[in-house]
Amino acid sequence: MFKTVVCVSGGGTNLQAILDAIDSGRITNTEIMAVISNNAKAYALERARNHNIPALCMSPKRYPDREAFNAAFTEKMKELNPDLIVLAGFLVAIPPAMVDAFEGRIINIHPALIPSFCGVGYYGLHVHEKALEYGVKVTGATVHFVDKGMDTGRIISQKAVYVQEGDTPEVLQRRVMEEAEWVLLPRAIDDIANGRIQLPEKKA
């Protein structure tokens, strides 16, 4: 089984999409070995517990500085030693040491068509606010590998979603999740777990 850790900061709708896809057989050969959140109150942790998956909170606020958090977070991930790390709405920058340790084995879902509306400050509802403010007619979501930049890693897949007349950021956010994010992320995990997308050899 392909062992996966999912990192999430909030409600965990993308996590739920992954769990549903595993339950329905749309993702095969995959075990979610842990869910990690930086937010102790994140409903994503409850979703994990409901599936008997270890739910861990690692918050930067619990450490004296970001350096100490980065070291502890990286060490915990090395201890878990997953085959794949999935960032599913995770609002914490991945430590460079973790990127090095799991090079080519961390993926992220972004709620826009990279390189549009991405980078520092572009997360959550703000992405959709900016898309509507700019007046784009097509938006969507992107699954990409994580490198040491912000939304700069190699793109795995994208799916377009049309903006409709009268969309609010909240309505657009929901449509992008339903039509793109919840489709792309489970498919990418299944493709990786079953060798259709090749990953580099795991580091010792």
Distance separating alpha carbons of residues 185 and 131, to the nearest angstrom: 21
Handedness of CA 79, 84, 90, 93 (dihedral sign): positive
What kind and span of H or E run contains 50? helix 43-50
Half-sphere exposure of 141 (CA within 13 A, CB side): 26
Q: What pLDDT is stored for residue 204 in this prediction?
A: 64
Active site residue 128: no
Q: How many CB atoms lie within 10 A of CB 50?
A: 11
Q: Which residues, given as ranges, of the chain have pLDDT below 70?
A: 204
Q: Which two tokens mark 59?
A: 């918050």
Cis previous bond, 115, omega within 30: yes
Active-site residue (options: 110, 126, 128, 144): 110
Q: What is the DSSP letter of 160?
A: E
Read off the pTM. Answer: 0.95
Does residue 76 contact residue 109 with C-beta atoms inside 8 Å? no
